[in-house]
Amino acid sequence: MAVRSLQDLCASVVAKHISLFSNLEGLPVHLADAIFEKLYKTDTLDLALIRLLSSQRCCLTSLPLSARCVNAWIPYIAQLQWLESITFTKSNITNKAIKDLLVLSETLRKLVLDGCERVDDEGVAMLVQFQQLFELTLSHLPLVTGKKLKGTYPRLEQLEVSHCPKLLDVPLSCPRLIDLTLNFTAMPAPAITCLIKRCPRVKTLHARGSQLTDWPRELSACLPHLTVLDLAYSRLRTGVGLAFHPHLTHLDLSHTTIGDASIHFSSLTRLVELRLAATAITAAAITRLPPNLQLLDISSSNVDEGAVATLATMDTLKHLDISLTEISLNASAFLGLRLPHCTILAEEMCVL
């Protein structure tokens, strides 16, 4: 039987009977932190406990807050001067809550606003005062248009702005940004392009469901360090510039209308994962793929058995999805023999 430490045992007992305590004076900081960690996990955090937290001045660095977090909590949260990370998920906090939290601007490194439906442009306009942020997530914010999301975030390395149906622009400057996510927003292509140009150090870009219709070579020149590019479900039709990302390792163009004319990837020798599901490519594009692919998804595309000979030579493949293409099950069996170390997903198209 595992022997529990004395600290863990004490923390469990106090957490179980936390409602009996009016303060935690005299408790070591590490024990107090262990108690509150258990309260997080058991989902028993409420206003009384937040007050207890602030009065104790515990050295908590991370505070996950769910839908039960209300504006009455914010003054007490603002007293937790060691906080580095706050996550609001489906919370009813307002712009005033963000204003009250500005006292943490020198310590906060990560802020997540996900599903906070009462936060609007006035609220996000204040976020630029959190100059120490390394990570910022703005997701499922139906009132945010982005027009006041301005300023420079000198330390920001990860930015996610996604699922904001009214978002039209993100006029930020993030010179140190590495990871950028712009999934399913209403941002027009020129606004996305301008943002990308202001973030030259980006290595990972997710723009699923975006309004981008083209990926020209000049856009590739703005992202010389790009390794991961996800444009699935976007309006992409052409992308001659896609071939000019020598460091690219992962590329997802699934569910776009891109065709053979934009597939010239043989020079992308570092590319190991390529997703072209539900695109307009044919067997001709397969001959222009890079040599070291480990994952290839061409399911629901126009690829037929003319590609089988080329696919059979791709001996680095570990996963191949040819479901719902015109490649027959017999041809799939042949590929299985030629590529014994590859998992092949195959399902014939149903012809009525």
Q: What is the pLDDT of residue 347?
A: 81
Q: How many CB atoms lie within 10 A of CB 291?
A: 12
Distance CA 151, CA 163 (A): 22
Per-residue pLDDT reduced to its tens digit, 301-345:
999 999 999 999 999 999 999 999 999 999 999 999 999 999 999
Per-residue pLDDT reduced to its tens digit, 231-265:
999 999 999 899 999 999 999 999 999 999 999 99
Q: What is the pLDDT of residue 299?
A: 97
Per-residue pLDDT reduced to its tens digit, 56-97:
554 555 666 665 566 777 887 787 777 888 888 888 889 999
* Sequence letter at residue 139: S
Per-chain mean pLDDT for the chain: 87
Q: What is the pLDDT of residue 238?
A: 92
Burial class of residue 190 (count of CB atoms within 10 Å of its CB; 0-12, 13-18, 19+)? exposed
For 34, the token pair is 């262990």
| Mean pLDDT computed over 284-294 | 95
What are the CA-CA distances from residue 107 to residues 33, 198, 332 (Å)?
A: 18, 26, 56
Per-residue pLDDT reduced to its tens digit, 256-287:
999 999 999 999 999 999 999 999 999 999 99
